[in-house]
Structure 1
Amino acid sequence: MVELALYGLGEMGSDIARCLAGRGVRLHAYDPVAEVEVDGEGFQRHDSARDAARTASVHLIVLKHRADVEALLFGAEGVCASAPPESLLILHTTLTPEAVRELHARTREGHGHTLIDAALSRRGGAVSDGSLSLFTGADEVAFARAQPVLEHYADNVVHAGDVGAGMTVKLCNNWLLYSNRHAALQAIRTGRELGVDPGVLRESLASSTGASWALTHYSDLDEGIVTGQGAPAVVRDRTASELGMAREMATRGGTVPSSLQETFALLEVM
């Protein structure tokens, strides 16, 4: 039986845990806050990162913020200090490519472990069923080691390039997602104001040449934004964070492209 450690049982982490537990993986999880139910005799929750880290040589990190990742990795009783020698650390937390490369170097030079990035993106089905894209940044050796693990819970595993490349793909993807959502919401609002039935409008746009993931997956969240109710703070904060990282990434190559700059207006209606 495959044996893994997972840190972070939030929305994505809990669904990954359910997928792994349902597929016979022995999973050692740690989250100091989240209370979730995960069925499967191979699932075990630990009271500390140290206890979870001691159990496996492959570690999945699904936290929200860089500060949380650094505390988990480099604390006195964190993963780097507690995991078996030469462990593989798979980072799912969305960070800039530069931040990932810094964590990779610090992990290897200070502790002898290998950290790679495997950026998450939803697909058409449920994450708990293994419907997930993973954009992976790793050298050939590390990717060969990681791929069989990643395929336990993702049906689209892409080797994007060296460390940091996975996050580059993820942030480019999010750039397009938010740009498409912003344009879609503007178009829908305009069509409604001109008297077109909202259901007819959405169905027509989603089935024609203007279609996008944002239109196809139009939800109550989008409806709330279009009708002036805004979005929950957690959604707005995540959007602002990911757009900010995309801008930081793009700025390293020169000026920020106009489409990305314009997409920040989405935050004003959220």
Structure 2
Amino acid sequence: MKVGFIGLGIMGFPMASNLLKAGYDLTVYNRTIEKAEKLGKMGAKVAHSPKEVAEVSEIVISMVTDAPDVEEVLFGENGVVKSNKRGLIFVDMSTNSPEFAKKVTKRLSEYGMEFLDAPVTGGDKGAREGTLTIMVGGKEDVFKRVEPIFKAMGKNIIHVGDVGSGQALKLCNQVVVALNMVSVVEGLLLARSLGIDDDKLFSVLSTGAANSFTVQYYLPKIMKGDLNPGFKAAHLKKDLKYAMEIANSKSLPLLGTSLALQLYNAMVSLGIGELGTQGLVKVYEKLVK
């Protein structure tokens, strides 16, 4: 299958690289051409618009920031739909809302195109290693056609259900991710205030009941002062906003999620939203001072 990939950021670039390694005929597009050209040197074809990607692809994947970006990729001046490629499958692997996924499906059907929402979890590490968990919403027969491509990028591929269900499950995941980070930062803050050695804290948290991916991967980064993004704080804030909109519409008391959203709002307000999610420690450090 000829595959197109749009959006070559922290996650998108390694995901597209893994498709190349798996032998797929790949065409890529990115707003900043340098990232696309780097993949071009690895064997990908470089396009200059989403329309160009769609014209030479059977399946087009997007890994962009938010719903407005997906909308631009699809329906913009040089968007995917301008290719008039009936039968094309468009796969949105970014994170936005279940309702947006349903609206996109309806609009794409008018162009004879299929849609899957397939957000991922596993961070930059999972993207590099090809071990992402991928949550897919959409028609089962369409999912089956794309499944081999998913397997080139991820290890745990789950067809959740109808369109929008992939995004719904991803938002549940993000709630737990955010609260894990809050707990890790607060645990570290308490330990340091009590004079407990960072390494001893990690030894206990990483081997006992408190263990998690956040403890294993992000706690050592925080301890070393490495706040570079594997996943940007501003993006987690966006995801939590979607989750809280759903919670409010259903009168669900997601108290911890509300707190986490406010903490990540604070990060963005402080101008440090481009840091990794572990940069939350900076908010707490300001509060302590």
28-37 vs 16-25, greater mean Cα deviation:
28-37
> 1:224·1:231 contact (CA, 8 Å) conserved in 2?
no
TM-score by length of 1: 0.89
User: Which residue number in structure 1 is paired with residue 274 of structure 2?
Assistant: none
Matched, 1:55 2:95: no
Q: Deviations over 1:14-35 (max 9, x none)?
A: 1111101111111011112152
CA shift for structure 1 position 40 = 6.8
Residue 188 of structure 2: SS of its match in structure 1? helix
Residue 60 of structure 2: SS of its match in structure 1? strand
Residue 90 of structure 2: SS of its match in structure 1? strand
User: Which residue number in structure 2 is paired with residue 73 of structure 1?
Assistant: 74
Counterpart residue type for residue 140 of structure 2? E
User: Which residue number in structure 1 is paired with residue 8 of structure 2?
Assistant: 9
User: Which residue number in structure 1 is paired with residue 216 of structure 2?
Assistant: 216
Taking a change above 3 Å as real, the CA distance of residues 231 and 157 of structure 1, as seen in their structure-2 partners, is: closer
CA shift for structure 1 position 263 = 2.1
% same residue: 24
Q: In the aligned structure 2, how far is the partner of 1:41 from the partner of 1:239?
A: 31
CA shift for structure 1 position 6 = 0.8
16-25 vs 79-88, greater mean Cα deviation:
79-88
Q: Deviations over 1:212-243 (max 9, x none)?
A: 22111125653488xxx9888x8331221111
Q: In the aligned structure 1, how far is the partner of 2:13 from the partner of 2:124?
A: 18
CA shift for structure 1 position 177 = 0.7
Question: Can you give the 5+ residue segments of structure 1 that lack an aligned partner in the other structure?
Answer: none
User: Which residue number in structure 1 is paired with residue 237 of structure 2?
Assistant: 240
CA shift for structure 1 position 54 = 0.5
Taking a change above 3 Å as real, the CA distance of residues 6 and 158 of structure 1, as seen in their structure-2 partners, is: same
Taking a change above 3 Å as real, the CA distance of residues 265 and 65 of structure 1, as seen in their structure-2 partners, is: closer
Taking a change above 3 Å as real, the CA distance of residues 156 and 40 of structure 1, as seen in their structure-2 partners, is: farther
237-246 vs 75-84, greater mean Cα deviation:
75-84
Counterpart residue type for residue 16 of structure 2? A
User: Which residue number in structure 2 is paired with residue 253 of structure 1?
Assistant: 250
Taking a change above 3 Å as real, the CA distance of residues 215 and 115 of structure 1, as seen in their structure-2 partners, is: same
Matched, 1:158 2:158: yes
Residue 52 of structure 2: SS of its match in structure 1? helix
CA shift for structure 1 position 86 = 1.6
Q: How many residue pairs get matched?
A: 264
User: Which residue number in structure 2 is paired with residue 134 of structure 1?
Assistant: 134
Question: Can you give the 5+ residue segments of structure 2 that lack an aligned partner in the other structure?
Answer: 267-282, 285-289
